[in-house]
Structure 1
Amino acid sequence: MALVIAGERSGVGKTTVTLTLLASLRRRDRQVQSFKVGPDYIDPMFHQHVTGRACRNLDPVLTSEAYIQQCFARHSQLSEYTLVEGVMGLFDGVKGSEEGAGEQTGRGAEEENNAQCPMPHAQSPTDFASTAHIARLLDLPVVLVIDCSRLSGSVAAIAHGYKSFDPRIKIAGVILNRVGSDRHLSLLKDSLEPLQLPILGVMRRQDNITIPDRHLGLVPTAELPELNALIDRLADLGDTCFDWQRLLPLLKSESFSFSTSSSLSSSFPVRIAVARDRAFNFYYQDNLDLLQQLGAELVFWSPLEDAGIPKDIQGIYFGGGFPEVFAQQLAENSSVRDAVKTAILKGMPTVAECGGLMYLCEQIIDFEGKSWSMAGVLPTSAVMGGRLTLGYRRAVALQDNLLVKANTTVYGHEFHRSHLTLTPTWPLFKTSRYDCEENMGCEGWGFPANIYASYVHLHWGESREIPQQFLKECLKVSKTV
């Protein structure tokens, strides 16, 4: 068995509840594997900080239903307990089909990118890529987190609605969050009693437990010096607020019968410099694992702190992150900027997603309008703004590039508040919204030919030819300093 933590909507405290459960389990010296539904990078960082194990993303848009089952079976069997954190509200998904992985659809954006793409009814045509979809796919029970801060008797209507909306979903119980007082709790319990739905946890309003956020969500773990103290407070809370006698059997890992993926036969003995620090830390662990399984040695380094790029490498990988927050420090490290530009202009194969793309630009112009020099590989600047670009993308390659061949279709996710001052002359992709097929124009830089720079984040789990193609190009390069 394993357990899914779902919310009745966004903002009810799913992540806080999940971290509280994980922190309390780890204090008990339990080995626990966590998963996160959707494309998010930051919540998995918090999971990993608590558990000491890499959190795995479960996203049928970026991968496939079969890959989710394989990934879940492979990693959950290595731990004593398993916990899955959901995304948005339990049934918040998009149009698609669960009949197979061939035609997939992605979760819509929460702002303007979703304005013309109304969410479908959960069963018409489906709630593809929702928490409910993953719970059905893995046949897991769900615990529903309800924000009780502004309701009392109405909690029963919410719980009843979620319990009865889709009979395929097994609601194991509820966790009542942000309960104000004993009197408040009594009203909630009285209202829920006729439903015979177990209350598996009660979390009171907490003034001393706050995870700071900013323009793209929570502040990542590497920037929170007081995080361990916060996790200790969550563990204290978890020791007393949950019904562990009922929860532990639900969380207990067991063997799953999903088929496993085939092994990788190719081998590429190359060294890849992976930028990983406070500015660049958005990586799917599965992507890094695939590179290593294909024979690559990953050399982690910091464009913020190091004096240069690693020696004897044959490729560079820049993930996403927050280069705009650390733009001044990145700009001041001119030796690294120069080394990156020199290496790329000499032919170093380089993958740069979102924040990495911004770093390869001439400048980053921050929220205050200040300009900071970057690597200067791309003849454009990244300008921070208030508009959030968010959502799944279908992208068709317009040319052969570092990762895919022309006319190949890939599926990814965008999440950024910057835009470029110039569009590429030879773009990588023609993109569209995933669920509406609305044309979004062309995107991505593939010139010079040894770079792949795009705002679209890709998960390589179901597209292993992508890392293979990257490493194949790296193998052609002589090791360089």
Structure 2
Amino acid sequence: MTLIIAGDRSGTGKTTVTLALLAFLKQKSAQVQSFKVGPDYIDPMFHSYITGRPCRNLDPILTSIGYVKSCFAQHCQGVDYALIEGVMGLFDGVPFQKAGESKQETVGEIINPNLPGGEEETQYQNYGSTAHIAKILKIPVVLVIDCSRLSGSVAAIAYGYGFLDADINLVGVILNRVGSDRHLALLKTALEPLNIAVLGVIYRQESLTIPDRHLGLVPTQELPEIDCFLDRLAYLAENCFNWEQLLPYLTTSSPNYPISQSPYCPVTPLVKIAIAQDKAFNFYYSDNLDILEQWGAKLCYWSPMNDESLPEGVAGLYFGGGFPEMFASALSSNKKALKMVKEAIERGMPTYAECGGLMYLCEKIVNFEGNVWPMVGILGTTAKMGKKLTLGYKQGTALRSSLLLNLGEVLWGHEFHRSELTIPPSQPLFHLSSWHTNSPSHAEGWYHRNLHSSYLHLHFGGCPQIAARFFRHTLDFSKYLTLD
């Protein structure tokens, strides 16, 4: 068993509560596994920094219900405690409009036949929500309520969230941003008739916040005071939460869900793939990296900001998302790295780039201040930052066969960016449409014979053929390098 930390809405404080719980448990030298609902990258960075273990995303939209169950069961093994951080408000998801259809079956070629399917994916109004994950995994929920502008109305919120869906097991609430002892007394008096346990009380503390910017929280690598901040959170957790009631819920048991078998796991890695990893590029699903390793890749981490050359002997390049616009000066100044990347791609090295990685491969990046910074230049366009946020799940249909896709193949991904390209691709990879069929659709994605570059973030658990094909192309290229 474990808990999902849910919120009554976004911004209610569930991330702070989750980090406080994780920090306290880690201070007790416990082995703690964390999970995050949805397509988030930055919150999992904080989880992993605290626990020393990769945080796992639970997203049935990008993967499947079967994959969510398998991932949860696999990574709960051998740990003392587990904790899931929810997304947005408890019931905030999307309508699932494909009743009875398995998204896994729409993907096309499935390289790994042992991957759990989506046979349970029937129509669900709040698909992918925190409540949906709680129902999938059959685990209890703790609701964090922002009480800064509430007193007696807190009871209506708790009652509504607790009883809207009879399948949701709400075991307690955490009252956040409480103003005073008198305020707390009013809140508890209102909640008393409901018999809902108050599992924690956090008084209003304006200084206890994590800096944010245009895509969410500032990542851990950019916070020099993070250790001090986490120590404060651990102290808060020790003194503000009811651990006698919480700990039994957090203690893990063995979930009775099947665990998918690795597609392939050679004793000796067969090929080296360079993973861009620094302050500019750090948006990676841990599962994506694991799946590449399971196929036989040795992942070699390097910094496009600081390293002047690629890791020796690599046969593939993987650029995740991140904040290249914030570090465009350093990226642009590293001329040797830009030259090496461009030459490697021109030589035919298989390359996979998402969002921030796509921006890095453009001719230029124009940041929020209007400054222009030359980049790799393999794509004949410029990435320009703007105010408009492009956000949401997208269904991509392949417009042509390419390095990683077959014509007509369908997959699900997620877009999250504030940049736009000044020149669209002449032969785009995808036709992208939103979850809701009446939303605007557009063509997107750049490709060459050895390059897949797109704003669309993919989870390889939902499209295993992408990882398999990328690995196979890198393996073929490594043989070419040996002959060369």
Aligned AA (1:195): L
Determine the structure 2 residue equivalent to 1:404.
Answer: 405
Aligned AA (1:218): L
Determine the structure 2 residue equivalent to 1:342.
Answer: 343
- Structure 1 residue 311: deviation in Å? 1.5
Residues 340 and 177 of structure 1: CA distance in aligned 2, closer, same or farther (over 3 Å): same
Distance in 2 between residues matched to 1:179 and 1:468, nearest whole Å: 51
Compare 202-211 and 124-133 and name the one that shifted more.
Answer: 124-133
**Structure 2: which 5+ runs fail to align?**
105-121
Residues 341 and 124 of structure 1: CA distance in aligned 2, closer, same or farther (over 3 Å): closer
- Structure 1 residue 436: deviation in Å? 2.8
Residues 125 and 266 of structure 1: CA distance in aligned 2, closer, same or farther (over 3 Å): closer
Distance in 2 between residues matched to 1:345 and 1:126, nearest whole Å: 47
For the 8 Å contact 1:283–1:320, the answer to whether it is kept is yes
What CA deviation, in whole Å up to 9, does each residue of 1:280-333 have, x standing for no partner? 000000000001011100000000011111121100000000000000010000
What CA deviation, in whole Å up to 9, does each residue of 1:197-231 have, x standing for no partner? 00000011113311000000000011111100100
For the 8 Å contact 1:64–1:101, the answer to whether it is kept is no
Distance in 2 between residues matched to 1:64 and 1:97, nearest whole Å: 15
Distance in 2 between residues matched to 1:97 and 1:399, nearest whole Å: 26
Determine the structure 2 residue equivalent to 1:178.
Answer: 177
Identity, in percent, stands at 56
Determine the structure 2 residue equivalent to 1:65.
Answer: 65
The ranges of structure 1 where at least 4 consecutive aligned residues each deviate by more than 6 angstroms after the TM superposition are none
What CA deviation, in whole Å up to 9, does each residue of 1:83-117 have, x standing for no partner? 0000000000111169656159xxxxxxxxxxxxx
Aligned AA (1:174): V
Mapping 1:460-471, distance limit 5 Å: 460-471=460-471
For the 8 Å contact 1:97–1:128, the answer to whether it is kept is no
Distance in 2 between residues matched to 1:249 and 1:376, nearest whole Å: 55
Aligned AA (1:184): H
Distance in 2 between residues matched to 1:443 and 1:273, nearest whole Å: 25
Determine the structure 2 residue equivalent to 1:219.
Answer: 218
| Pair 1:207 & 2:206 matched | yes
Residues 100 and 277 of structure 1: CA distance in aligned 2, closer, same or farther (over 3 Å): farther
Aligned AA (1:43): D
Aligned AA (1:128): Y
Distance in 2 between residues matched to 1:300 and 1:431, nearest whole Å: 31
Q: TM-score, normalised by structure 1?
A: 0.94
**Structure 1: which 5+ runs fail to align?**
105-122
Distance in 2 between residues matched to 1:462 and 1:216, nearest whole Å: 24
Classify the secondary structure of the residue corresponding to 1:458.
coil
Mapping 1:164-313, distance limit 5 Å: 164-265=163-264, 269-313=270-314
What CA deviation, in whole Å up to 9, does each residue of 1:235-272 have, x standing for no partner? 01011000000000011100111112133147671100
Distance in 2 between residues matched to 1:235 and 1:407, nearest whole Å: 50
Determine the structure 1 residue equivalent to 2:442.
Answer: 441
Determine the structure 2 residue equivalent to 1:128.
Answer: 127
Compare 199-208 and 54-63 and name the one that shifted more.
Answer: 199-208
Determine the structure 1 residue equivalent to 2:76.
Answer: 76
Distance in 2 between residues matched to 1:179 and 1:263, nearest whole Å: 47
Distance in 1 between residues matched to 2:270 and 2:436, nearest whole Å: 39
For the 8 Å contact 1:8–1:145, the answer to whether it is kept is yes
Compare 40-49 and 402-411 and name the one that shifted more.
Answer: 402-411
Residues 4 and 125 of structure 1: CA distance in aligned 2, closer, same or farther (over 3 Å): closer
What CA deviation, in whole Å up to 9, does each residue of 1:393-437 have, x standing for no partner? 000011111222111101000000000001111110011002335
What CA deviation, in whole Å up to 9, does each residue of 1:44-70 have, x standing for no partner? 000001111100000001000000000
For the 8 Å contact 1:96–1:435, the answer to whether it is kept is no
Classify the secondary structure of the residue corresponding to 1:368.
coil
RMSD: 1.6
Classify the secondary structure of the residue corresponding to 2:441.
strand
- Structure 1 residue 463: deviation in Å? 2.2
For the 8 Å contact 1:388–1:415, the answer to whether it is kept is yes
Aligned AA (1:288): L
Aligned AA (2:144): V
Determine the structure 1 residue equivalent to 2:352.
Answer: 351
For the 8 Å contact 1:269–1:475, the answer to whether it is kept is yes
Distance in 1 between residues matched to 2:154 and 2:467, nearest whole Å: 48
Aligned AA (1:132): A
Aligned AA (2:18): T
Distance in 2 between residues matched to 1:103 and 1:296, nearest whole Å: 27
Determine the structure 1 residue equivalent to 2:153.
Answer: 154
Distance in 1 between residues matched to 2:11 and 2:358, nearest whole Å: 30
| Pair 1:326 & 2:333 matched | no
Distance in 1 between residues matched to 2:349 and 2:303, nearest whole Å: 18
Distance in 1 between residues matched to 2:241 and 2:97, nearest whole Å: 36
Classify the secondary structure of the residue corresponding to 2:412.
strand
Q: TM-score, normalised by structure 2?
A: 0.93
Distance in 1 between residues matched to 2:262 and 2:334, nearest whole Å: 41
Classify the secondary structure of the residue corresponding to 1:305.
coil
Determine the structure 2 residue equivalent to 1:51.
Answer: 51
- Structure 1 residue 124: deviation in Å? 8.5
| Pair 1:390 & 2:391 matched | yes
Distance in 2 between residues matched to 1:253 and 1:28, nearest whole Å: 16
Distance in 1 between residues matched to 2:264 and 2:186, nearest whole Å: 60
Compare 359-368 and 433-442 and name the one that shifted more.
Answer: 433-442
Classify the secondary structure of the residue corresponding to 2:388.
strand
For the 8 Å contact 2:264–2:294, the answer to whether it is kept is no
Determine the structure 2 residue equivalent to 1:113.
Answer: none
Distance in 1 between residues matched to 2:47 and 2:436, nearest whole Å: 29
Aligned AA (1:281): N
Distance in 1 between residues matched to 2:317 and 2:53, nearest whole Å: 25
Distance in 2 between residues matched to 1:265 and 1:244, nearest whole Å: 42
Distance in 2 between residues matched to 1:437 and 1:43, nearest whole Å: 31
For the 8 Å contact 1:149–1:177, the answer to whether it is kept is yes
Question: How many matched pairs?
Answer: 462
Compare 362-371 and 204-213 and name the one that shifted more.
Answer: 204-213
